Amino acid sequence: MDENLRKLIHICFGLPIFLLLFLNWWQASLIAFLAFLHNILILPMYGKKIFRSRWDRGIILYPLSVLILLVLFRERLWVAAAAWSLLSFSDGIASIMGKKSRKKLPWNREKSFRGTGAFLLTGFILSPFFYWLIKGNMSTREFLIIISAVLLTGLFESFNTGVDDNIIVPFAFLYFFRLGEVIKFKTPSSLEMKIIPAIVVLSFLVYLLKILDLPGSVSALIVGTGILHFGGVPIFIILLGFFIISEAASFYKKSEKNGIKRGWESVWAKGGPALLFTILGFPQGAVVALAEATYDTVATEIGSVSGTTVFSPLTMKRTRRGESGGMSPEGSIAGFLAAFLLLGISVWLGIRIDYTLAALIIVLVNLFEPVLKIPCHVSHSFANFITAYVAGEIYIITGIL
């Protein structure tokens, strides 16, 4: 396989973005669909040099992602163009530059500083350019949103999520772009200013007690402060409830466990979805996400050292007692009870939430948890993030319907 040729073709397939100046959304979508069929049926006949395997998921997902972009943003093709340019030019150039560098990222040895830097630099230039080119104009606020979305996408893409970049890059950009459009900053209240010092002290204590490492403690400070500011005191209390319940479960038969100190990955996996929902203005989604995270943590902490049958929900195979990620029927029951307790606390705090619906969603999400985690088989933390976010999102969508 010629990797350089593969990446060069990857980059060149960003040039059709210019066609959006002349085509409407369904014409562009038709071309993307034909490219999808071409990559599956015809390209393998003559382009074997660029295939990593018979069914190369990157080559298949690339035009499919572009097709979805065009359909989702058919009324705003300039947004799709910005995301498409990030997928083709930035991701392709980053791959080429990254392979020439030996300085790897501390948090992901498969990525390099040079590759991530190339991704961000080209993204800062090309994404706003194609947005402006297709739309015809661009405000200062739009420019800042695009730059922020590119930055967050580049950082997110640098982590080992276990999901193909052809999915991560365009849809992470769209999510962060939309987040920038709806986010509303407000001045912290006097009550928030009194609570924030307590969050700082608590974050420092969990570091001293070795509950979290230093990056994890800083992440906890950011997540806690963000949830307090955007979600208010009740959602922050739910976050504290999650922390207390989870730590109580972690101390259960602690001597039999591996004793792995939690880091920033765990904090963002469990608290990140709730923070996103509060920023977006969906406090109920944040509650359900935290309840799901509570279930997952308690089920793992109790399940890894309880019962005669301990298994991994990712592989569906038996594991040793005390091994991280192990679960058991006893652990699952404990997890459900803990999640229901957190939902009960939220109702007591006056948060308007359908307790029965939320509980049902958590049960169903965890029944299908192995399926949800299949695309995230490389990263356990990202898999936890996905399940918590999906639970909150399903509650929001169901509530709207």
Query: CA angle 73-77-35, nearest 5°?
Result: 85
Q: What is the pTM of this model?
A: 0.78
Q: Note the Cα 303 to chain centre separation in Å.
A: 25
Residues 199 and 219 in one domain: yes
> What is the DSSP code (8-state) at residue 53?
S
Q: What is the pLDDT, as a whole number, of residue 371? A: 62
Sign of the torsion angle spanned by Cα atoms 193, 197, 199, 203: positive
Angle subtended at Cα 375 by Cα 71 and Cα 217, rounded to the nearest 5 degrees: 105
Which of 182, 214, 245 is the C-terminal boundary of a domain? 182
Q: Which residue ranges of the chain lie beneath pLDDT 50?
A: 321-325
Strand, coil or helix: 312: strand
Specify whether 201 is located in the same domain as 346: yes
Whether residue 219 is found in the same domain as residue 335 = yes
Q: What per-residue confidence (pLDDT) applies to 356? A: 87
Q: Are residues 108 and 215 in the same domain?
A: no
Q: What share of the chain is helix, strand, coil (3-state, %, to 5)?
A: 75, 5, 25
pLDDT for 125: 97
Are 325 and 300 in contact by the 8 Å Cβ rule? The answer is yes
What pLDDT, on the 0 to 100 scale, is given for residue 321?
47
Nearest 10 degrees: CA dihedral of 184, 347, 235, 193? 100
Q: Phi/psi of residue 151, each to 5°?
A: -60, -50
- In one-letter notation, the amino acid at residue 262 is R
Quote the pLDDT of residue 334: 87
Cα distances (Å, whole numbers) of residue 16 to 20, 35, 63:
8, 11, 12
Q: Kind and range of the H or E element at 108?
A: strand 108-112
Residue 353 sits at φ, ψ, to 5 deg, of -145, 140
Q: Is 111 helix (H, G, I), strand (E, B) or coil?
A: strand
Report the number of distinct structural domains present in the chain.
2
Domain that holds residue 176: 3-182
Last residue of a domain, one of 182, 213, 238: 182
